[in-house]
Chains A and B, each alone.
Chain A
Amino acid sequence: MTSEIAGNTLRDEATRPAGGPPAPQNKKRKGVTERDRPLWLLAPGGLLIAVIILIPLVLALYMSLIDLDQYTLRKWLTTPFIGVENFVEALTKTDLLRSIWISVSFAVVSTIVTVPLGVAAAVVTQNPYRGRAIVRAVFLIPYVLPSFVVATVWRTMLQPDGIVNSVLHNVGIDPGLWLNGPMSYWTLILVEIWAAWPFIYLLALAGLQSVDHEVHEAAAIDGALWWRKLREVIFPYLKGPVSLAFLLGTLNHINNFTLPFVLFGAPAPADVNVLPILVYVTSFQSFRFGLSAAMAVVSLILIAIPLFIYLRAVKLDVSDDGGKK
Chain B
Amino acid sequence: MEITRKNFLIGIGGMGALSLALAACGGSPDTSSSGTGKVDGTGKTLTVLFSTKSQYPEEQKAWFAKTAEDFKTLTGATLQWETFASANDEMTRIQTSVVSGTGPDVYGLGTTFTPTAYSTGAFVKMGDAEWNKVGGKDKFVPATLGISGPDANNQIGIPFVSRPFVMAYNTEMLKAAGIDKPATTWDEFSDHAKKMTKPGQYGLAIAYKDNFDPWKFIWGMSIQGGNPIIDGKKVRIDDPTVLAAYDAYFGWLTKDKAVDPASVGWGNAQALAAFAAGKAGYFPMTSPLSIPTLDKSPMKGKYQYALLPMVPPGQTARPSGGVEAASILSGDNLVVADYSPNKDLAFAFIKMITDTAAQANYYKIFGEIPTNVEAAKSLKSDPLVAPALDAASKSVATPFSGAWGDVQLALTNIAVQTIPDLSAGSVSESALSGRIKTAQSTAQAALDRAK
Give chain A's interface residues, CB within 8 Å of chain B.
54-55, 57-59, 61-62, 69-71, 73-74, 76-77, 93, 159-162, 176-177, 179-182, 265-270, 281, 283-287, 289, 304, 308
Residues of B within 8 A of A55 (CB): 11, 14
Residue of A nearest to B410 (CB): A267
Q: Can you give 17 contacting A-B residue pairs, CB < 8 Å? A: A55-B14, A61-B8, A62-B12, A73-B95, A73-B98, A93-B445, A160-B265, A161-B260, A180-B265, A265-B416, A266-B88, A269-B417, A286-B405, A286-B409, A287-B91, A287-B402, A287-B405
A267 contacts B405, C-beta separation under 8 Å: no
Max chain A C-beta neighbours (<10 A), residue from B3, B92, B122, B402? B3
A62 CB → nearest B CB, Å: 6
B95 contacts A289, C-beta separation under 8 Å: yes
CB < 8 Å: which of A73, A159, A270 contacts B122?
A: A73
A12 CB → nearest B CB, Å: 27
B3 contacts A267, C-beta separation under 8 Å: no
CB < 8 Å: which of B95, B98, B209 contacts A284?
A: B95
Give chain B's interface residues, CB within 8 Å of chain A.
1, 3, 7-8, 10-12, 14-15, 18-19, 22, 88, 91-92, 95, 98-99, 116, 119-122, 209, 211, 260-266, 270, 338, 402, 405-406, 409, 412-413, 416-417, 419-420, 423, 445-446, 449-451
CA distance A58 to B10 in the complex (A): 9
B7 contacts A58, C-beta separation under 8 Å: yes
A160 contacts B262, C-beta separation under 8 Å: yes
B22 CB → nearest A CB, Å: 7
Residues of B within 8 A of A73 (CB): 95, 98-99, 120, 122
Residue of A nearest to B449 (CB): A69
Residues of A within 8 A of B265 (CB): 159-162, 177, 179-180
- Known A70-B119, A77-B15, A180-B423: A285·B409 in contact at CB below 8 Å: yes
Residues of B within 8 A of A289 (CB): 95
A258 CB → nearest B CB, Å: 12
A40 CB → nearest B CB, Å: 23
A-B contact count (CB 8 A): 120
B120 contacts A70, C-beta separation under 8 Å: yes
A71 contacts B8, C-beta separation under 8 Å: no
In the A-B complex, the 10 residue pairs with the closest CB atoms: A58-B11, A181-B420, A161-B262, A180-B419, A160-B265, A160-B262, A267-B413, A159-B265, A284-B91, A74-B122
A58 contacts B88, C-beta separation under 8 Å: no
CA distance A289 to B446 in the complex (A): 13
Residues of A within 8 A of B413 (CB): 267
Residues of A within 8 A of B446 (CB): 286
Residue of B nearest to A300 (CB): B1
Residues of B within 8 A of A265 (CB): 209, 211, 416
Residue of B nearest to A155 (CB): B265
CA distance A62 to B10 in the complex (A): 12
Residues of A within 8 A of B402 (CB): 70-71, 287
CA distance A55 to B409 in the complex (A): 33
Residue of B nearest to A159 (CB): B265
CA distance A301 to B88 in the complex (A): 27
A103 CB → nearest B CB, Å: 19
A163 CB → nearest B CB, Å: 12
B419 contacts A71, C-beta separation under 8 Å: no
Residues of B within 8 A of A308 (CB): 1
A287 CB → nearest B CB, Å: 6
A130 CB → nearest B CB, Å: 43
CA distance A283 to B270 in the complex (A): 29
Residue of B nearest to A297 (CB): B3
CB < 8 Å: which of B91, B98, B264 contacts A74?
A: B98
CA distance A265 to B261 in the complex (A): 20
CA distance A287 to B449 in the complex (A): 11
B99 contacts A76, C-beta separation under 8 Å: yes
